[in-house]
Structure 1
Amino acid sequence: MHKLHYISTEKKDKNHLQHIQEACESGCRWIQLRAKDISTEDYIALAKKAKIITDLHNAILLINDRPDVAKAVNADGVHVGKEDISPAEAREILGEGKVVGGTANTIEDIQRLYDYGVDYIGLGPFRFTQTKKKLSPILGLEGYQSLLDQCKERGIDTPIIAIGGIEVTDVENILKTGVHGIAVSGVIANAINPAGVVTVMNDILNRTSTPVL
């Protein structure tokens, strides 16, 4: 599984597709389309266009919240939030061979998702982020370390992806807690040089070098 996940966003100057295109061109190979307050018809239309972009770059495409949309466009999988459809229901809709990920904030969340058999767990938030309206309690490094230690004690080996306001300078310390990777949005979408940001993060995540930041 890729260690760098990009979650799409929409801003005044760029829409989801432009951001996804930019992320793929910058080297991201795991993309999550996260569109809120949008009709099913529009979500499917958007997802179809997103899949064209990800296919061209040999990137994974996941759809946030909506396994029905993911199935309609033959996306690689779905990510479900704490208040969304259950991972079991999502997998039943998508069928075998597709990725199902879920959101967690506590050890109880993690255990529940592990028991469901999800492919990865998005754990956060690391710090405050404006990309989510209903924000769970912030974890920080200590929170991650505590939860990852508890995962070891329980024998939970599902890949954990850290998420929530993560900056480039956070990545190395977050990795030390034992997480598999990170999910980001704004740090790439708002970057003057997205490709440079992706390169540095991938270097740290894959431990090929230790860039000077």
Structure 2
Amino acid sequence: MPKLYYISQGETKEEHLKYIKKMVLAGVDWVQLRLKNYSEAEVVQIALQAQEFCTKHHTKFIINDYLEVAKKINADGVHLGKEDISPKKARTILGENKIIGGTANTLEDCKNLIDSGVNYIGLGPFKFTKTKKKLSPVLEVEGYQSIIESLKKENIDTPIIAIGGITLEDLPNLKNAGVSGVAISGFLHRQENLAQCIITLKEHF
């Protein structure tokens, strides 16, 4: 599982690609291409270029939402939101060897995803973030601790990736809460020394 999972952003498809390349070169573990409101053909065009770059640099490449694109280009996996196709159906389409992740906000969400056979859970938001328009209630550290402790009591060890407004200062508490890694976007975009920032982030895990 990734210590540091970059979720792409940008005003255009081309900006998404530019930032993905920048983050891969700086050392992120996984990349998620998160395009919204584009045609499948447009997503395929950018996804193929991003995938080629990620593969060259040994970085996992995940597609957000666009399941058919993930299948068509043979991406490493797909990340599904609450309103997307179920992970079980996605598994029948992509196959057993692909990574399937899902978004959760509550303990019930997590259990439903685990029952559906996801490989990891993107649990959040940690705190307010401008990156996402429809924001679920923020969890803060206490929310992660409560959910992860409940899962451990049931001997569930599906990796939990924290997401939502995370900065470097938040990592010790999130690590102590039991998360396996963090998904970050906006904070990375604001760094002048990106490579050093990523090294420091990954050292916490």
TM over 0.5: yes
Other structure's SS at 1:149 match: helix
The one-letter code of the counterpart of 1:23 is M
Q: Partner residue of 1:133?
A: 133
Identity rate, percent: 50
Other structure's SS at 1:6 match: strand
Contact 1:125 1:164 in 2 (8 A): yes
Other structure's SS at 1:15 match: helix
Q: Which runs of 5+ in 2 are unaligned?
A: none
- C-alpha root-mean-square deviation of aligned residues, in Å? 1.1
Q: Partner residue of 1:148?
A: 148
Instruction: Name the CA distance, whole Å, in 2 between partners of 1:146 and 1:77.
Output: 28
Q: Partner residue of 1:68?
A: 68
Contact 2:3 2:29 in 1 (8 A): no
Q: Could you list the per-position Cα deviations for residues 162-209 of structure 1 after superposition, in whole angstroms to 9, with x for gaps in the alignment?
A: 00000011111101001111111111122222112111101112xxxx
Contact 2:162 2:183 in 1 (8 A): yes
Instruction: Name the CA distance, whole Å, in 2 between partners of 1:197 and 1:90.
Output: 35
Which 4+ runs in 1 deviate beyond 4 A?
A: none
Is 2:91 the counterpart of 1:91?
A: yes
Q: Partner residue of 1:57?
A: 57
Is 2:15 the counterpart of 1:15?
A: yes
Please give the TM-score of this superposition, normalised by the length of structure 1: 0.93
Contact 1:167 1:187 in 2 (8 A): yes
Q: Partner residue of 1:208?
A: none
Instruction: Name the CA distance, whole Å, in 1 between partners of 2:100 and 2:56.
Output: 22
TM-superposed deviation, 1:139 = 0.2
Q: Could you list the per-position Cα deviations for residues 130-178 of structure 1 after superposition, in whole angstroms to 9, with x for gaps in the alignment?
A: 1111100000011111111111122221000000000011111101001
Instruction: Name the CA distance, whole Å, in 2 between partners of 1:88 and 1:156.
Output: 18
Instruction: Name the CA distance, whole Å, in 2 between partners of 1:11 and 1:170.
Output: 27
Instruction: Name the CA distance, whole Å, in 1 between partners of 2:137 and 2:85.
Output: 21
Alignment: residue pair count: 204
TM-superposed deviation, 1:111 = 0.4
Contact 2:77 2:98 in 1 (8 A): yes
Contact 1:29 1:57 in 2 (8 A): no
Is 2:31 the counterpart of 1:31?
A: yes
Instruction: Name the CA distance, whole Å, in 2 between partners of 1:41 and 1:166.
Output: 32
Other structure's SS at 1:32 match: strand
Q: Partner residue of 2:163?
A: 163
Other structure's SS at 2:83 match: coil
Is 2:22 the counterpart of 1:6?
A: no
Instruction: Name the CA distance, whole Å, in 2 between partners of 1:183 and 1:65.
Output: 16
Q: Which runs of 5+ in 1 are unaligned?
A: 206-213
Please give the TM-score of this superposition, normalised by the length of structure 2: 0.96
TM-superposed deviation, 1:11 = 4.0
